[in-house]
Every structure is written in C-alpha cells, then in structure tokens.
Amino acid sequence: MKNKVHFIDCGGNIGQSVEYALQLEGIDKVDTFEPFEMNYSHITEKYGENEKVFLHTKAVSTENKSARFYVQDWGARTGSSLELGKSSTTPNKFIDVECVDICQWIRENLKEENYNIFKIDIEGTEYEVIDKILSEELDVLIDKWLIEWTPKAKLPNLDKQYMDDVIKRFESRNPVWVDWSFHY
C-alpha cells in the first residue's frame, strides 16, 4: 500500500491545484511548475512558507532549454503557452522562460513507492510532453493523471492527427485519469 502522496502540478497558474493537492489524504509533497512571474508570485505569496510545497519557476517541456512563452495578458491569464499561435495568446507578446525536461525530472524525483498524481494543464504542450513520457515508459511511475487536453481548435499550428494519436496511445495504456478541464 502506497501511503505517501506526491502531487506534481504542471501549469500551476495561481495555485488552484496546490490548494486541491493540500486537501488530499496522505499528501506528502507538492511540486508545482509555473513560469509566468505574475502567477508564480501569487503562488509564492500563498504557499511559499508551506513545507510540503516546492515551487519551480519553469515551464514544463520535453527538454531543458530557454523558450518563448506566449502570454495571455487579459482575463484570468490561464491560457499562456509555449505554443505559438494558441488562440488565447498574441504572437508578439512573449517572455523568455526556462523549461524543464519533465522526463528527466520524473526519473530523478518520482519514487515508485509513493502514490504519484500528475496534473498537467500546460496549454497545448501536453501532447508533446505526454508523448515523451509514454515513449520513455515513465508512465509506470504515475498512479493517477489529471489532464486538461487543450482543444484542437485552440492550437492551429499543431498537427491534429498527432494530437489524436497521442491521446489514443495514452488511453491504450489504461491509465487512471480525470479530465481536469472541468475541475476549475
């Protein structure tokens, strides 16, 4: 029986997922990734002193690199993305951010003896990230997934067949997962 819960929050926004995770029975650790300074500051203000919460000012990606992060500068600022052309962003409004190779991070940080919950809401980049996690067979370390699959209509520059193929490959592994898009 796995009794420690590790919650990995890819796309922390303003901390809604951290709040959710801290309410889980047996929660031991929450790692949250949020590259947008305005949102990250909000999470730091709210959870920075919590010894269970570890904050990372990086975007989740398939490699360690610097990249353009296209900013949604209106509304709730929940649609910023590494994906050029995402419908909620403006192509000439971006910031440079550091990215983390989430597969490398998983290998170095997830323990099989823990119950690992992987929440991913990264505005289009989830397709490439999940594809790599599956290819490297790191999904065996994840006990439960919380996923917001960004709708194809919002990602005009991504290949629609590729997006469908990633979802099919993911579902063929019979994972325990929840559609996170309806959670917040």
Whether residue 130 lies inside any domain: the answer is yes
| Confidence band of 2 (pLDDT split at 50, 70, 90) | confident
| Count of domains observed in the chain | 1
Q: Does 184 score more than 60 pLDDT? A: no
Whether residue 166 lies inside any domain: the answer is yes
Q: What is the residue type of 96?
A: D
Range of the domain at 110: 5-65+98-182
Q: What is the pLDDT of residues 84-142, one digit of tens each?
A: 888 888 888 898 999 999 999 999 999 999 999 999 999 889 999 999 999 999 999 99
DSSP 55-83: EE--EEESSSEEEEEE---STT----BSS
Q: What is the mean pLDDT of the chain?
A: 92
Whether residue 16 lies inside any domain: the answer is yes
Whether residue 76 lies inside any domain: the answer is no
Whether residue 78 lies inside any domain: the answer is no
Whether residue 17 lies inside any domain: the answer is yes
Q: What is the pLDDT of residues 155-172, one digit of tens each?
A: 888 899 999 999 999 999
Whether residue 87 lies inside any domain: the answer is no
In CATH, what number is assigned to the domain containing residue 133?
3.40.50
Specify the higher pLDDT residue, 9 or 81.
9
